[in-house]
Amino acid sequence: MLMQRQIKRLCFVVVSILLSFNAFAQRGTGDLGVVIERATGSIQIIETTHNTSLARITGMGDLSHATVVYSRDEKFAYIFGRDGGLTKIDMLAHKIVKRIIQSGNSIGGAISQDGRLIAVSNYTPGGVKVFNSKTLELVADIPASYGNSGKRSKVVGLVDAPGEKFVFSLWDAGQIWIADFSKQALAKNHNKPRITKFKNIGKNPYDALITPNGRYYIAGLFGEDGMAMLDLWHINKGVKRILNHYGKGEKKLPVYKMPHLEGWTIAGDRAFVPAVGHHEVLVINTQNWTEAGRIPVHGQPIFVMARPDGHYVWVNFAVPRNDTVQVINTETLKIVKTLVPGKGVLHMAFEPRGEEVWVSVRDKNRVNVYNTDTYRLDSSIKARKPSGIFLTSRAHETGL
C-alpha cells in the first residue's frame, strides 16, 4: 500500500512538472513574423518583443517575389512563391504543414475576410486560383481570359475586400475584376463565385491597393500616367481615373523596379504614393482624390510606408540608390531623416504599435531594427539575402 502511494505521488509530481514545462513553452503569436530569405528558398520566424530569430525553415522554392498572409489566429502563415508554390507554415511548431505547386509563375495572394479562402494571382497561366485555407484543396479556378481569342492575362494587384470578395487587375487586358465568394453570391451562382468585370480601365495596371477601410481599390497604370479607382461601395459607378496625366510633359527616368502600391500609406486625409519614373513621392487629397503636392526624394520610391500613428512615412528606393531610407513628416511634408543602412534595402515593416521598424538589407545579409523616435539601430539579425518582412499583425488588416 505504501509503495502504491509513493508511485502515485511520484506520478503526480512528474505530470505537474511536464504540465508546468508545457505551459512555459507555450507562447502567443502576436509578436511573431516572417523574414524571407530570397536566395535560399528559406524563411526565418522572428519575434519582435526581444528582436530575435526563433527558427529557420527551408525548402520553399523560389522566393524571389514572395509575399505572406496569416490566418485569423496568426498561427499559420501562407507563403506565395514566384515558382507557383503555396506553402502553409505553422508559426508555433516552426514547420511546413503543407506545400503545393499551383501554377507556373505566381505574383502574390490574399486571404478572405473570414479566413476560409486563400487566393493566388498567377502570371502563368494567367488567372486566380482559390484554395481552402485548412487543406489547401482547390476551391475555384478563375482564368483571366480576355478578348475573342481567349488569351490569358497576367494577374496583379490581388487583394481581399469586405464581404468575402477578392479584387484584382489584368495587366495585359487593362481590366479590374471582382470575384464574390459570399454565401449569397455562391447560392445564386451554382456554388461558383460571381465575377464582375470592368474593362478599359487604362494601359498595363502593374499593381494595386485597397484603402484600409476596404472601400477604394486603386490600380497604378504603367502604360500611361494616372491611376484607376473603383469605389467598392458603389461599383455601379464604374472605374474612375485619378491623378490623370500627373507626369505629362515631364521627362521620366528609366524604371529599374516597379513600385509597390501595397506599400503606400494614408495619413489623415492624405495619401502618400510612389511616383513611377520620378524621384518623388506624390501626395493625394483623399477627399477628392486630387494631387496635393510632391516631395522630392533620394531616388525612385519603391515602398512608401507609414508608422502606425501616421505622423511619419518611411521611403526606400530602387537601384542604383537602394542603400538609403528617408523619413518624411506628414504634417510638414519635409524629409526629417536620411539613413544609409547599406546596399539592397528591399523592405520595411513596422511593429504593430510603431515603436520600431524592421528593415531588410540584402547585400549586408542583415535585418536591422530601428527605433522610430530616435532612429537608433536597436538590433540587427543575420539573414541570408533578406527581402520581405511580414509580421503577424497583418492578419487583422484589409488588403494585405
Q: What mean pLDDT value characterizes the chain?
A: 90
Cell of 318: 530602387
Task: Give dist(CA 101, CA 244) in Å, integer.
Answer: 39
- pLDDT, residue 3, reads 56
Asked whether residue 176 is domain-assigned, the answer is yes
Asked whether residue 250 is domain-assigned, the answer is yes
Asked whether residue 31 is domain-assigned, the answer is no
- pLDDT, residue 258, reads 57
Q: Which residues are paired to 350 by β-bridges?
A: 357
pTM more than 0.85? yes
Asked whether residue 137 is domain-assigned, the answer is yes
End-to-end CA distance of the chain: give it in Å, rounded.
Answer: 64
State how far the alpha carbon of 279 is from the alpha carbons of 255, 264, 303, 354, in Å. 11, 15, 13, 26
Asked whether residue 244 is domain-assigned, the answer is yes
One digit per residue, the tens of pLDDT, for the chain of length 400 reads 545 555 555 554 454 444 444 444 679 999 999 999 999 999 999 999 999 999 999 999 999 989 999 999 999 999 999 999 999 999 999 999 999 999 999 989 999 999 999 999 999 999 999 999 999 999 999 999 998 888 999 999 999 999 999 999 999 999 999 999 999 999 999 899 999 999 999 999 988 989 989 999 999 888 887 889 999 999 999 999 998 866 555 555 555 555 666 667 888 889 998 887 789 999 999 999 999 999 999 999 999 999 999 999 999 999 999 999 999 999 999 999 999 999 999 999 999 999 999 999 999 999 999 999 999 999 999 999 999 999 999 999 988 7
State how far the alpha carbon of 104 is from the alpha carbons of 119, 125, 136, 398, in Å. 15, 7, 17, 27
- pLDDT, residue 331, reads 94
Cell of 49: 518583443
The b-or-e profile of 53-64 (16+ CB within 10 A means b, else e) is eeeebeebbebe
Q: In what order do the strands lie in the sheet with 155-161?
A: 155-161, 165-170, 175-180, 194-198
- pLDDT, residue 4, reads 56
- pLDDT, residue 267, reads 83
Question: In degrees rounded to 5, what are phi and psi of residue 181?
Answer: -105, 20
Asked whether residue 300 is domain-assigned, the answer is no
CATH code, 214 = 2.130.10.10
Domain that holds residue 205: 102-257
- pLDDT, residue 86, reads 97
Asked whether residue 112 is domain-assigned, the answer is yes
Strand pairing class (151-152; 377-382): unpaired
- pLDDT, residue 148, reads 86
Q: Which residues are paired to 166 by β-bridges?
A: 160, 179
386 and 35 Cβ atoms separated by less than 8 Å: yes
- pLDDT, residue 24, reads 42
367 and 349 Cβ atoms separated by less than 8 Å: no
Asked whether residue 389 is domain-assigned, the answer is no
Cell of 171: 495587366
Interior angle at CA 131, CA 127 and CA 137, nearest 5: 120
Cell of 28: 502567443
Q: Which of 236, 217, 129, 122 is nearest to 167 (CA)?
A: 217
Domain count, the chain: 1
